[in-house]
Amino acid sequence: MKFIFLLALAASCFGAESLVSNFTFALCPGAFPGQLWVLARGDVSNGLTRVYVTGSGANLQVASFESVLFPKDVFGVQDEVFSSVTGEHRRSLLLRDGTTLLVQAFGLDENNASILPQGYIRVQGADAVEFPVSAAGLGVDAAAAWPTPLTVSMADVAFDRGGLVWCARGPWGLSLSPARATEWSDVAIGEGSAALLLNPKKALWDTLSEGDEVDTLSHLSIWALALDSVSGTFWAGSEKGLWKGNRDSSSVHKLKLGVSDSLRITGIWRSAAGQIFVESGVRSIVKGKSGSNTKTISSLWRSVDDGKTFTAVNLPYDSLDISVSSVAFLGDDAWLAVQGIENNWSGLLRINSKGPVAWADSLRLPDREDASNWIWGLDARVIDRDAFITGVSTFPLVSGMGLAVSTYGAGISVSADSGKTWRAILNQTPVKGGLAEVRTVPSVMRYGSGSAINYRLDQQSKVTIEVFGYEMRKVRTVVRNATRAADPIRSSNAREDYWDGRDDAGNYVTVGMYYVRVRDNHGHEAWGKAMWLGAAQ
């Protein structure tokens, strides 16, 4: 007997002021130009926001936010997103296929941690012009969709033709279920079983019927998956190598990555043009001068011929603790959201046909000894404050495609010019009235944070922003007679109107209180203040 329980979602329109939370974890494109879906989980609520932006180049403006909330006891982001020591549990799922959005759902365990897989949350009608959309959450027990208990996180998902969903489930191989059905049926290649197990000796998929136990000695765990829904070709990442096959056949064959065909694969990302990135990672004991330590040994591989051949991506930084959260393909470039497993850095890795691209060269910005020139983050002005980058995605614009990143605490950032300039979008208390109040965010700052200078303009203006010390001596001109568009939502572009704690000579100012003056060409003037705590020693 099958049991299904439905999780009711509250659909609500927040108006034009809010993301569900500034703690965002994944993004995917909307159906129409300017639309972007964002997955968030905060202290108060978690759910999805559809962001609609207008404009082009460096003048992107937010037109609206529309949100769907998840139940309080069901989460679209698991607690292992920052703690897992290999990549397959560090990612958050957000996929769109036509009018359907799919989010992996997690419930709370006995320790109040959201790590128990609950199936999926589906949002249907995601391309609706008006909210609320038809939002329905689907949670399943073991018998409903899978023949075995959901004791491990579902690692990877891919949409097939007709809305079918393939799911990589670790020791339980691959499962196939329709995304739009009211129930998850037991559909798979051949026998109609709910699961396919990879048999490496026979190079075949074995079927797993309901009630059968998994033979882990004869079958490989599957942690990653990519699928070409048109040709039916798929790439499955196992605990011992990368395998390629076709959904209409039970046979598979093993691919080599470099000289090895037995690496533990933790992630696969494929573009429509046939560019593929594969991540491998395993915990291993590394011997050093101070003794032996357990490290995550990772590698990144790329194919430009749809998986026929792979070459190693020579990373310009420590590759022993890399994890790729997501990959966005934009033209000939790939943008990888990367994070350190055993350190606190994160950002984007931009890769073109020649390899990784340094931001200092691309943006003509000064490099710093304490920053990586290859990781696009705060220093490359992707984000406007020190925050952890969690994901990246493309999204449609009226002309071309845009880029967007999700962050842990700083909302999202969007770019309409292939990463040259970025616009930060996050929840802030709006500045009321015309140019009458200036807010610095954060108001207490030190090296690494900087401060966005926020104000409201009811009409396009030429703006001058200056910073003064306690004795009212001017120390910095941030911008002079700069054209700023009217902006009723967050009032300024944080990367254009941004103080990094330096004076006009490029030196950090002394510790103390500073005053910020904003003037426009219509005779208006407003003041704000910020406390500078000094540069890191």
Kindly report, residue by residue over 457-489, the tens digit of the pLDDT. 777 889 999 999 988 899 999 999 988 877 655
pLDDT-derived band at 162, boundaries 50, 70, 90: confident
Q: What is the pLDDT of residue 523?
A: 84
Tens digits of residue pLDDT in 269-283? 999 999 999 999 888
Q: Does residue 520 fall inside a structural domain?
A: yes
Given this model, what pLDDT does residue 306 score?
93
Residue 134 has pLDDT above 90, yes or no: no
Three-state SS for 66-135 is EEEECCCCCECCCHHHCCCCCHHHCCCCEEEECCEEEEEEEEECCCCCEEEEEEEEEEECCCCCCCCCEE
Across the range 347-371, mean pLDDT stands at: 79
Q: pLDDT per residue over 379-400, tens digit each?
A: 888 987 778 999 999 999 998 9
- So what's the pLDDT on residue 433? 55
Range of lowest pLDDT (283-297, 402-416, 488-502, 519-533): 488-502
366: cis peptide before it, omega within 30°? no
Asked if residue 301 has pLDDT above 50, the reply is yes
How many separate domains does the chain show? 1
- The confidence score (pLDDT) of residue 196 equals 84
Residue 180 reports pLDDT greater than 60? no
483 domain residue, yes or no: yes
**Whose CA is closest to 126, among 29, 9, 21?**
29
Q: Does residue 510 belong to any structural domain of this protein?
A: yes
Query: pLDDT band at 226, cuts 50/70/90?
Result: very high
Residue 161: pLDDT over 70? yes
Q: Is residue 222 part of a domain?
A: no
Residue 229 lies in a domain: no
What pLDDT score does 318 carry?
Answer: 52
On the CB side of 468, CA atoms within 13 Å amount to 12
**Residue 429: pLDDT over 60:** no
- Which structural domain range is residue 520 located in? 439-532
Q: Which of 82, 144, 87, 77 is nearest to 107 (CA)?
A: 77
- Whether the predicted pLDDT of 179 surpasses 80: no
Give the model confidence (pLDDT) of 109-125 as tens digits: 778 877 777 777 777 77
pLDDT above 90 as % of the chain: 32
Q: Once rounded to an integer, what is the mean pLDDT over residues 342-367?
A: 82
- Characterise 330 by phi-psi region: left (phi > 0), alpha (psi -120 to 50), beta (else): beta
* Four-CA torsion 110, 112, 114, 117, nearest 10 degrees: 20
308 or 162, which is more confident?
308
Is position 507 within any domain?
A: yes
Model confidence at 108, in pLDDT bands (50, 70, 90)?
confident
> In this structure, is residue 452 part of a structural domain?
yes
Question: What are phi and psi for residue 441, nearest 5 degrees?
Answer: -130, 110
Q: What is the pLDDT of residue 364?
A: 72
- Is 70 exceeded by the pLDDT of residue 444? yes
Q: What are phi and psi of 144, to 5 degrees?
A: -75, -50
Cα R_g (the chain), whole angstroms = 24
- pLDDT grade, residue 4 (50/70/90)? very low
pLDDT over threshold 70, residue 525: yes
pLDDT at 133: 52
Residue 447 domain flag: yes
Q: What is the share, in percent, of the chain residues with pLDDT greater than 70?
A: 80
Listed in sequence order, the residues at least 6 apart from 71 whose beta carbon sits closer than 8 Å to its beta carbon are 7, 8, 9, 137
Q: What is the CATH number of the domain that holds 520?
A: 2.60.40.4070
- 190 pLDDT band, cuts 50/70/90, is very low
Residues 32-71: pLDDT tens digits? 999 999 999 988 888 999 999 988 777 788 888 888 888 7
**Model confidence at 344: pLDDT above 80:** no
pLDDT at residue number 349: 93
- On whether the pTM is more than 0.85, the answer is no
